[in-house]
Amino acid sequence: MASRDLHTFLACCTIVLILESVLKTSAVTPLTDFMISKSVTNHGDLTMFSRIFDKFDYKRCLKITAIGGSVTEGHWNHTRIPVNLRWPGLLAALLNARFPCNDPAGHVAQNQGRGATPTSAWIETLTGQQEVQFQGVDLVLLETAVNQMAEREQAQIDAEILMSMVTKQSRRSMTKSQLEQATTSDGQFIRGFTGTAAMWVVASTRRFVTIWTGVPYERISDAMYAQLPVAQHHGVPIISAIDALGPFPTSEVQAWFNQTWYEGDPIHPNQRGHILIADLVFHYLKTAYEHTRLFQWHALPKDYIPREPMFLSRDILNMFLDQTPIKINLANMNDILRRNVTRCSGWWAYADVPEKIGFVAINVGSSCVVPLKSDEVSRLSVGMAHVLMYKSYENMGTFRMAIMKGRMGVNGMCEGADDPNAQVLGSMIVDSLWKSKASLAEVSILHFELPTASDKSACLLVHLDVVESKPARLKNKVKLLGISFF
Ligand SMILES: *[C@@H]1O[C@H](CO)[C@@H](O)[C@H](O)[C@H]1NC(C)=O
Ligand SMILES: *[C@@H]1O[C@H](CO)[C@@H](O)[C@H](O)[C@H]1NC(C)=O
Ligand SMILES: *[C@@H]1O[C@H](CO)[C@@H](O)[C@H](O)[C@H]1NC(C)=O
Residue 206 clears pLDDT 90, i.e. is over it: no
Q: Mean pLDDT for the chain? A: 91
CB 320 within 8 A of CB 338: no
Q: Give the tens place of pLDDT for each residue, 101-110.
A: 999 999 999 9
* C-beta of 342 in contact with ligand 3 (< 6 A): no
Alpha carbon distance 468, 422 (integer Å): 23
Class of domain 3-316: alpha beta
| pLDDT band for position 17 (cuts 50, 70, 90) | very low
Protein residue closest via CA to atom 6 of ligand 3: 412
| DSSP letter assigned to residue 449 | P
Q: Assess whether the region 3-316 and the region 325-485 belong to the same CATH fold.
A: no
* C-beta of 187 in contact with ligand 3 (< 6 A): no
Q: What is the CA radius of gyration of the chain?
A: 25
**What ligand 3 atom has the least distance to the C-alpha of 373?**
14
**What ligand 3 atom has the least distance to the C-alpha of 371?**
14
Q: What percent of the chain has pLDDT over 70?
A: 93
pTM comes to 0.89
Amino acid at 469: S
* C-beta of 259 in contact with ligand 2 (< 6 A): no
* C-beta of 354 in contact with ligand 3 (< 6 A): no
Q: Count Cβ neighbours within 10 Å for each residue of 453-469 and write b for 16 or more, e otherwise.
A: eeeeebbbbbbbbbbeb
**Which residues surround ligand 1 with Cβ inside 6 Å?**
77-78, 263-264
Candidate from 205, 206, 207 with most ligand 2 atoms within 8 A of CB, to mutate: 207
Q: Which of 122-136, 286-300, 449-463, 470-484 has the lowest mean pLDDT?
A: 286-300
Res 300: pLDDT? 78
Q: Give the tens place of pLDDT for each residue, 136-177.
A: 999 999 999 988 887 899 999 999 999 999 999 999 988 999
Candidate from 377, 411, 413, 483 with most ligand 3 atoms within 8 A of CB, to mutate: 413
The yes or no reply on domain 325-485 and CATH 2.60.120.260 is: yes
Protein residue closest via CA to atom 13 of ligand 3: 339
* C-beta of 339 in contact with ligand 3 (< 6 A): yes
Q: Give the tens place of pLDDT for each residue, 168-204.
A: 999 998 899 999 999 999 989 999 999 999 999 999 8
In 3D space, the residue among 225, 221, 224 whose CA is nearest the CA of residue 207 turns out to be 221
Alpha carbon distance 142, 122 (integer Å): 10
| DSSP letter assigned to residue 47 | G
Res 216: pLDDT? 80
**Residue ranges of domains in the chain:** 3-316, 325-485
Residue 14 clears pLDDT 80, i.e. is over it: no
Residue 109 has phi, psi (to 5 degrees) of -115, 105
Alpha carbon distance 222, 245 (integer Å): 15
Helix 152-167 vs helix 119-126: crossing angle, to nearest 10:
40
Protein residue closest via CA to atom 12 of ligand 3: 339
Protein residue closest via CA to atom 11 of ligand 2: 255
Q: Looking at the CA of 272, which ligand is closest?
A: 1
* C-beta of 335 in contact with ligand 3 (< 6 A): no
